């Protein structure tokens, strides 16, 4: 969360607004800083940067104390529970359309295929069903709704697929 302090706004951009977190249950606002603010990370780096950063953080951010999350490259996501998770979020007030639980995995895989193709373009091979793909999808959505940056064809495709399941 970017707090409304001059130094944070100068460094990270627009401060975090309550409406950005309306569907978070429970709310995650806090003041402890263990790592960098991720509220505006979406679109800041390419998919390959996030992939390499999770595999070996120091290769992308020299001196980083972040541990490796290499298992994300190996573990497969479990899509069997996606419909139940969508229905649970609907009961909490997240405005997914009626019947979306039955379509969510299709959207999830469409977004995953876009990210997998992006990685392939950077000479990184990954199956679309790996946890790393879901994490990249999530990170690439962070702050996108508040940014006013013009969309490219690639980011528009990611946003279209990502608004559904993986990224928000």
Helix (H) or strand (E) holding 132: helix 131-141
Q: Provide the pLDDT for residue 142.
A: 85
CA distances from 40 to 22, 74, 146 (A): 17, 27, 9
Helix, strand, coil percentages, rounded to 5, for the chain? 50, 0, 50
pLDDT of amino acid 57:
96
Please, what sign has the CA dihedral across residues 2, 59, 133, 117? positive
Distance, in Å, from the CA atom of 111 to the CA atom of 160, rounded to the nearest integer, reads 8
**pLDDT, one tens digit for every residue, the chain (168 residues):** 667 788 877 877 777 777 777 777 666 666 666 667 777 788 999 999 999 999 999 999 999 899 999 999 999 999 999 999 999 999 998 899 999 999 999 999 999 999 999 999 999 999 999 999 999 999 998 887 766 545 566 656 655 555 545 544
**10 Cβ contact list (under 8 Å, min separation 6):** none
pLDDT at 159: 55
Please state, in angstroms and rounded to a whole number, the distance separating the CA atoms of residues 138 and 132: 10
* Boundaries of every domain in the chain: 1-40, 41-162
Res 24: pLDDT: 72
What is the per-residue pLDDT for 168? 45
How far apart CA 69 and CA 160 sit, in angstroms, is 27
Q: What is the pLDDT of residue 21?
A: 72
CATH no. for 41-162: 1.10.760.10
Task: Count Cβ neighbours within 10 Å for each residue of 119-137 and write b for 16 or more, e otherwise.
Answer: beeeebebebbbbbbbbbb
Cα angle 49, 77, 152 (rounded to 5 degrees) comes to 40
């Amino acid at each position: 969360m970017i707090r409304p302090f001059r130094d944070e706004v100068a460094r990270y951009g627009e401060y975090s607004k309550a409406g950005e977190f309306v569907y978070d249950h429970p709310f995650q606002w806090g003041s402890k800083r263990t790592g960098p603010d991720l509220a505006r990370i979406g679109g800041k780096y390419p998919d390959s940067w996030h992939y390499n950063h999770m595999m070996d953080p120091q290769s992308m951010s020299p001196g980083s104390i972040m541990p490796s999350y290499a298992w994300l490259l190996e573990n497969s996501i479990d899509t069997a529970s996606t419909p139940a998770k969508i229905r649970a979020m609907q009961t909490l007030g997240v405005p997914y359309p009626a019947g979306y639980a039955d379509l969510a995995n299709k959207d999830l895989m469409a977004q995953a295929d876009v990210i997998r193709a992006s990685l392939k373009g950077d000479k990184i091979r990954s199956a679309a069903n790996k946890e790393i793909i879901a994490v990249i999808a999530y990170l690439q959505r962070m702050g996108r709704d508040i940014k006013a940056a013009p969309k490219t064809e690639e980011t528009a495709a990611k946003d279209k697929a990502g608004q559904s399941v993986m990224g928000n």
